[in-house]
Chain A
Amino acid sequence: MTGHPARHLSPDDIDASLAGALGPEARRHLEECSACRELARAERELVRALAALPHLAPREDLAERVMAAVRIPDPFALRALAGAGRRLLRSRRALAVAAGLVVVMLGAMGASVAWTLAHRGLLAALSDWATGEALRWAWVGLRGAALNLLERPELGGVRRLLDAPALLALISALGSLGYMSGVLALRRLLAVPGRARHAGW
């Protein structure tokens, strides 16, 4: 209490009383005023009862449920990063070398972007040439592989067939005819039930 001893205790005075830190004037007032004494007693009782309220326990599996959703940082990665950081910052020279490397890398990236933008025509021509060359070499490779395959002794029948164009044409024609007949038969087979249903309506 800060004012006249006759004034009743303020809430701050009650707090001080609860903490056992009441000033001399407030203490004198408390001895004389039964209303304030009763208030201080009731507050003390209440605070004691509140402090005695138990802590309640959650379900036992709380830790497991929480840990299943917590992302724990990888200690190895953290140690490696911290070690690298410490090594880097150990001396001014190491720091200067690291800074120099960063500057060189950034400079190289910048120069690369600038050169690309300035030589777009050249890059397009180079790209066309590279694509043409790649296709040509792919064709040469494929032909070489096919010829090598046909040279194998067990493929003698195929080689003889390729040497007789008339026979090859006949076989091709028969094959095409068979394929077309198959397609037509299949279409007919699939179309018949549909038509029958429509006819019934």
Chain B
Amino acid sequence: MAADRPALAARSDQEIVALARAGEEAAYRELIRRYQRPVFSLLYRMVGDRELAEDLTQETFIKALNALASYRPEFKFSSWIFKIANNAAIDQLRRREVPTLSIEGSPHASTPEAVEATALQLGDSAESPLEAVEARELGGQIEAAIARLRPEYRACILLRHVEGCAYEEIARILNLPLGTVKTYIHRARHELRQALGHLRG
């Protein structure tokens, strides 16, 4: 019998994975629903190209969902899927130069479509118009500063402070020693502080 949406939404990732392994299609859809935004956000901020991030998100989910049998439930599902996503992003960054992420679109974009595709689209919030403009400006500057970080710093800082992963989890996701992860995050924060020094000082 197929599990319905509200019942699935209340279950843990591990339970959803168990249902998916048992052939429940709704469980696959629930995993996509839960992780599509975090995975897409991570990939978009890593590669800085909307279309590319769309493709990599699709590739990440297909890879993860087709390999559910190899997922070990003692680890968090989020760590597992972030690891697959990060590997996809790193492969892409190694393969070719991707445009810089910017709220105004890539400086290399030659057509309005390309500008739109490379421009960061920030989500809506419940702030006042003035706060929204300020937040958008700050958000845009932070996004631009993150985009200028080295990819390994970028992955660490996004996983730590945007996705809220613990240091140990990041070490597992990126396959790096714990000390290296801490160093990368401290250096990334230092670089970001310098880049954003003129803001809210």
Contacts and interface: CB of A to CB of B under 8 A. Distances in A.
Interface of A: 11-12, 14-15, 42-43, 45-47, 49-59, 62-63, 65-67, 69-75, 78
A51 B36 contact: no
Contacts of B196: 46, 49
A128 to B, nearest CB: 52
14 contacts: A14-B186, A46-B193, A49-B139, A49-B142, A53-B139, A53-B143, A54-B139, A56-B40, A57-B40, A63-B32, A66-B62, A67-B29, A69-B66, A70-B66
B37 A57 contact: yes
A55 B58 contact: no
A69 B57 contact: no
Contacts of A50: 142, 157, 161-162, 192
A130 to B, nearest CB: 48
B200 A58 contact: no
B61 interface: yes
B29 A63 contact: yes
B23 A78 contact: yes
Nearest to A55: B37
A interface: dominant SS: helix
Given A46-B189, A70-B65, A53 B28 contact: no
Interface of B: 20-25, 28-29, 32-33, 36-38, 40-41, 44, 53-54, 57-58, 61-62, 65-66, 120-125, 135, 138-139, 142-143, 157, 161-162, 164, 182, 186, 189, 192-193, 196, 200
A42 to B, nearest CB: 5
B54 A59 contact: yes
Contacts of B58: 62, 65-66, 69
B22 A54 contact: no
Contact of B162 (A11, A42, A53, A57): A53
A66 B21 contact: no
A58 B44 CA distance: 9
Given A62-B61, A66-B62, A11 B54 contact: no
B164 A66 contact: no
Contacts of A62: 32, 36, 40, 54, 57-58, 61
A55 B123 contact: yes
Contacts of A71: 66
B135 A52 contact: yes
Given A66-B65, A72-B28, A54 B125 contact: yes
A55 B121 CA distance: 10
Contacts of A59: 54
A94 to B, nearest CB: 24
Given A66-B32, A67-B25, A67-B32, 5 more contacts: A43-B189, A49-B196, A51-B164, A56-B123, A69-B66
